[in-house]
């Protein structure tokens, strides 16, 4: 290469600047990489001697004027097919390409549209350790000799070209990688955001983000997201952190995760990935509603109540809980049907829900089938009493269901909490005890829990537990006591009444007035009745076998008599105990009269046909006493203790008793006076010709061994 005018170094530096700075040459390199076979760069001298036009294939506008020298680059190293295609394309423009070009600078002859360049300097251009092109210096001077400096220049230019190709390839690779990454992130279900750690500038946002929020790249994260989120975890200044977020603008829930990474330009980036969890959140809310809300009324349920009470206990917030129990709701279901019963529950639920909306310190819950709970926070007793009054006033008015009206009052139990060591169970137990006490007081009232009520009802609950335990364990701690019955004329022992007694070790002897109603409430009364027949029947047989002429009175409840298999059970018990029927007297009450009288007469006749006697207990306390005397196959009438208590003080009572005695005797029915405790009472009743006497005057109920010791020891001794 000839170096006219300028020194080698100046020419070299000038040429390098042209190659490194001119965008057009950079475009040539770009095209060369994109389509190897069409890559070409020529200078002005080549155009001058070859006649190239800018519009012709493989020719480009020139960027350097090196006078009579030509520079061009072409492919050879990728594969033979590409090389041949390149060669063919060049030869169609008049360029002759020698096949014997070498990467070590060998001279080859090249012709360009008939112009022969016998002297060329060829240098290989490398990229990623492969020869991708050749760099040629051509001269038409056949005597041209390339000096070491010119070869060095060509080598340096080749190095520059290699560097530019490598840089371009790296840039293309980075750009391609970025495009690929962008395509991947744009097609992900997640929303992706890249934020510069130091400046807060958004450097990347997936299209899924921008379709809602517009162009984000270049904006500050805090400016974009400070008004985007409605529900945030702990955060500040609108920045995204890990957690669940709700965007009102996007109407979506997101779970955000973040990670610090290095960006392609070296900056530290917070890469935030937002996964759309709207479907999951909505599903969880559906499940939560099913779990924590009542399906019928739509208000929070028992589980929600437990959660709320636990929260109040943990916060130690002064609160009040009210249990509202609908009185006689079963009657409404029975009268109007369960569908209409459900409609009433919905109406009541709506009333409580509307009530809660008006009082922000009040929460309502459905506690059970016919029970609701109201939670009050931070309200004094006056406010509590007022709320109770509002509720009672509402329930004392009529409810509209099934095109008709009904009345449904309520009982309320109220308790304050939390107290020391309170739990959800202890709080609920207090209102349950209070509501139980309210029911005992006649319903349609409010009972505020206190320790006295707590002790009474706690005892009741424990007794109920023990009764269940003892009955299921073979009637453990249940036994029979016997109270003597004497003839009034001779003061002779003629029999006794078997009475059930219960003596659990935890409480000692429990009064029948307490455990009999409990057994009725728990549904155990018939089982206890069968058990007393079994015990007394065996005792009766023992005494009969000893030759004692004693009648055993045993109580029969109405529940036992109306059982479908009552007669079969009686027959079985007689067979099991061996008791002689003529020594047994079953005591019944006037409550039989409210049932089918004909059916009752038939059942009792079946018993009396066996020789069993029937006594009418508590005579005079019911509304159909005379009708019972007339209709039932009775052997004895037992005048209730309430008539005996004042017989010595009230002459009218004596007249009444005399009337009963005369009537009974006219009907061939014996008369027994119960509850006789004093000598004066005994004397009056004997004078009124009462047949037999029972009461403390002769003896209290006692165990069989004590009874034998006191009344039968001589007779039993004589038998022996």
Architecture of domain 189-224+237-281: 2-Layer Sandwich (3.30)
**Alpha-carbon distances of 450 from 414, 444, 711, rounded to whole Å:** 9, 19, 48
Quick check: 333 and 341 in contact, CB under 8 A? yes
Name beta bridge partners: 133: 125
Q: How does DSSP classify residue 127?
A: E
What gap in Å lies between CA 272 and CA 306, rounded to an integer? 38
What gap in Å lies between CA 362 and CA 376, rounded to an integer? 5
What gap in Å lies between CA 349 and CA 341, rounded to an integer? 12
What gap in Å lies between CA 621 and CA 520, rounded to an integer? 20
3-state helix, strand, coil split of the chain in percent (to 5) is 45, 25, 30
The phi, psi pair for 32, rounded to 5°, reads -60, -40
3-state secondary structure 303-332: HHHHHHHHHHHHHCCCEEEEEEEECCHHHH
Tokens of 273: 């990935």
Res 212: pLDDT: 75
Angle of CA points 695, 698, 700, to nearest 5°: 60
What gap in Å lies between CA 471 and CA 14, rounded to an integer? 115
Q: pTM for the complete prediction? A: 0.55
**Alpha-carbon distances of 345 from 174, 351, 359, 554, rounded to whole Å:** 69, 10, 21, 46
Residue 480 CA neighbour count, 13 Å, CB half = 24
The phi, psi pair for 388, rounded to 5°, reads -60, -40
Q: Choose which CATH entry (2.60.40.680, 3.40.50.1980, 3.30.450.40, 3.40.47.10) describes domain 5-173.
A: 3.30.450.40
DSSP 148-181: HHHHHHHHHHHHHHHHHHHHHHHHHHHHHHHHHH
| Same-fold call for 5-173 versus 293-449 | no
Instruction: Please list, in sequence order, all residues whose beta carbon lies within 8 angstroms of the beta carbon of residue 484, skipping any fewer than 6 positions away.
Output: 493, 495, 496, 694, 698, 699, 707, 711
The phi, psi pair for 66, rounded to 5°, reads -110, 30
Look at residue 555 and give its three-state secondary structure.
strand
What gap in Å lies between CA 466 and CA 675, rounded to an integer? 30
Successive 10-residue mean pLDDT values, the chain, 720 residues: 39 48 44 31 40 34 28 39 52 44 42 51 61 58 61 68 69 68 67 85 82 81 64 42 71 83 83 83 83 92 94 93 94 89 93 91 92 92 92 92 86 92 92 89 91 85 93 95 96 96 95 93 93 96 94 93 91 94 92 74 90 90 69 90 91 92 93 95 95 96 95 69
Q: Which fold has domain 474-718?
A: TIM Barrel (3.20.20)
Pick from 66, 74, 67: nearest CA to 28: 74
Other Cβ atoms less than 10 A from the Cβ of 446: the count is 21
Res 619: pLDDT: 85
Q: Kindly give the pairing relationship between strand 229-231 and strand 243-247.
A: antiparallel
Domain ranges within the chain, ordered by starting residue = 5-173, 189-224+237-281, 293-449, 474-718
Angle of CA points 676, 679, 684, to nearest 5°: 75
Quick check: 235 and 221 in contact, CB under 8 A? no
Pick from 213, 214, 216: nearest CA to 202: 216
Other Cβ atoms less than 10 A from the Cβ of 605: the count is 12
Q: Choose which CATH entry (3.40.50.1580, 3.30.70.270, 3.90.950.10, 3.90.1170.50) describes domain 293-449.
A: 3.30.70.270
């Amino acid at each position: 290469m000839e170096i006219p005018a300028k020194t080698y170094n100046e020419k070299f530096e000038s040429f390098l600047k042209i190659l490194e700075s001119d965008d057009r040459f950079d475009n040539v390199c770009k095209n060369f990489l994109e389509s190897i076979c069409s890559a070409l760069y020529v200078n002005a001298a080549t155009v001058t001697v070859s006649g190239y036009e800018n519009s012709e294939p493989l020719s480009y506008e020139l960027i350097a004027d090196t006078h009579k020298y030509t520079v061009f680059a072409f492919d050879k190293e990728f594969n033979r097919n590409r090389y041949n295609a390149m060669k063919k394309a060049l030869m169609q423009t008049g360029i002759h390409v020698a096949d014997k070009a070498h990467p070590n600078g060998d001279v080859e002859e090249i012709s360009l549209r008939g112009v022969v360049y016998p002297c060329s300097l060829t240098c290989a251009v490398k990229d990623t350790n492969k020869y991708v092109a050749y760099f040629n210096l051509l001269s038409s001077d056949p005597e041209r000799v390339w000096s070491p400096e010119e070869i060095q220049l060509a080598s340096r230019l080749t190095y520059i070209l290699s560097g530019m190709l490598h840089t371009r390839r790296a840039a293309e690779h980075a750009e391609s990688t970025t495009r690929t990454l962008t395509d991947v992130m744009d097609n992900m279900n997640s929303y992706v955001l890249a934020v510069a750690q130091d400046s807060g500038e958004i450097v990347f946002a997936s299209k899924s983000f921008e379709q809602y929020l517009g162009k984000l790249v270049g904006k500050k994260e805090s400016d974009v997201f400070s008004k985007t989120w409605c529900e945030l975890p702990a955060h500040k200044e609108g920045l995204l952190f890990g957690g669940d977020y709700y965007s009102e603008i996007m109407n979506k829930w997101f779970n955000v995760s973040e990670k610090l990474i290095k960006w392609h330009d070296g900056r530290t980036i917070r890469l935030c990935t937002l996964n759309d969890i709207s479907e999951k959140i909505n599903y969880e809310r559906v499940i939560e509603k099913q779990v924590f809300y009542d399906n019928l009324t739509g208000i929070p349920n028992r589980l929600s109540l437990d959660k709320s009470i636990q929260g109040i206990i943990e916060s130690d917030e002064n609160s009040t809980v009210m249990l509202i129990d609908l009185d006689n709701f079963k009657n409404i279901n029975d009268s109007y049907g369960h569908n209409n019963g459900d409609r009433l529950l919905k109406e009541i639920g709506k009333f409580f829900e509307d009530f809660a909306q008006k009082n922000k310190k009040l929460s309502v819950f459905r506690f059970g089938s016919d029970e609701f709970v109201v939670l009050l926070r931070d309200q004094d007793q006056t406010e509590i009493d007022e709320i109770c009054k509002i509720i009672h006033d509402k329930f004392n008015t009529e409810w509209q269901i099934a095109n008709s009206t009904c009345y449904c009052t309520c009982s309320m139990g109220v308790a304050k909490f939390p107290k020391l060591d309170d739990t959800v169970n202890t709080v609920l137990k207090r209102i349950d005890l209070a509501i139980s006490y309210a029911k005992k007081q006649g319903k349609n009232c409010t009972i505020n829990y206190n320790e006295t009520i707590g002790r009474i009802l706690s005892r009741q609950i424990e007794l109920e537990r023990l009764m269940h335990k003892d009955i299921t364990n073979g009637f453990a701690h249940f036994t029979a006591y016997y109270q003597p019955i004497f003839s009034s004329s001779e003061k002779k022992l003629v029999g006794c009444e078997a009475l059930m007694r219960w003596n659990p070790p935890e409480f000692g002897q429990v009064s029948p007035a307490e455990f009999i109603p409990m057994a009725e409430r728990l549904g155990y009364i018939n089982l206890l009745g069968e058990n007393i027949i079994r015990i007394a029947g065996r005792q009766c047989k023992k005494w009969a076998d000893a030759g004692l002429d004693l009648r055993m009175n045993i109580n029969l409840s109405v529940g036992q008599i109306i059982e479908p298999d009552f007669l079969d059970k009686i027959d079985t018990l007689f067979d099991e105990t061996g008791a002689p029927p003529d020594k047994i007297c079953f005591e019944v009450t006037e409550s039989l009269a409210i049932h089918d009288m004909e059916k009752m007469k038939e059942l009792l006749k079946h018993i009396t046909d066996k020789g069993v006697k029937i006594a009418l207990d508590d005579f005079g306390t019911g509304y159909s006493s005379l009708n019972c005397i007339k209709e039932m196959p009775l052997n004895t009438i037992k005048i209730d203790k309430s008539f005996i208590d004042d017989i010595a003080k009230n002459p009218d009572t004596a007249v009444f008793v005399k009337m009963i005695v005369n009537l009974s005797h006219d009907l061939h029915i014996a008369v027994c006076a119960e509850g006789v405790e004093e000598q004066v009472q005994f004397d009056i009743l004997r004078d009124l010709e009462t047949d037999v006497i029972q009461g403390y005057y002769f003896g209290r109920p006692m165990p069989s061994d004590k009874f034998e010791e006191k009344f039968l020891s001589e007779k039993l001794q004589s038998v022996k």
